[in-house]
Amino acid sequence: MVNREYRASRVDKNQSSLVAAFREFGCQVQDTHEIGKGCFDLIVAIDFLNIFIEVKDGRKPPSARRLTPDQKMWNNTWTGLRAVVTNYDEVIDLVKETRELVQFLRGQAARYNVDIQVVGCLEQQYEPVRNYL
């Protein structure tokens, strides 16, 4: 029996280039666009923070970049970190801002003598990022 509720999810034309950009900056990326039901397209790990990312094609007019009703509902009910990116510059900005947040959190943890358990990837140096920040 065929499930008629399932629709194949479309991938924005710029998604592969944005995935490559996140990986260029040392981020881990998991494609989630096939989950559907409004779930955003990617999970991106920037240092120890995971962010759900919705990819929209910045070359399309704003009306074609709007969130679908399912995406709006998912976005409004998901309490975790999430963002929408449309181009390479937005990837750079998101990575930079997230890494600034990570530095702040690590500083607060040290200030209050709180032990944050982080994975070894936090100690890696992200040379490609420093070239752009």
Residue 119: its pLDDT value, please? 39
Q: Are 40 and 54 in contact (CB under 8 A)?
A: yes
Indicate the SS3 state at residue 121. helix
CA 102 centroid distance within chain: 15
CA dihedral 21, 23, 26, 31 (to 10 degrees): 120
Residue 13: its pLDDT value, please? 87
Distance in angstroms (rounded) separating the CA atoms of residues 85 and 44 = 12
Distance in angstroms (rounded) separating the CA atoms of residues 85 and 51 = 12
Q: Are 53 and 90 in contact (CB under 8 A)?
A: no
Give the tokens for residue 8: 């194949």
Domains identified in the chain and CATH numbers: 15-130 (3.40.1350.10)
Question: Mean pLDDT of successive 10-residue segments in the chain (133 residues)?
Answer: 51 92 96 88 92 92 89 89 94 96 86 60 42 35
Residue 21: its pLDDT value, please? 97
What pTM, to 2 d.p., does this model score? 0.76
Residue 11: its pLDDT value, please? 84
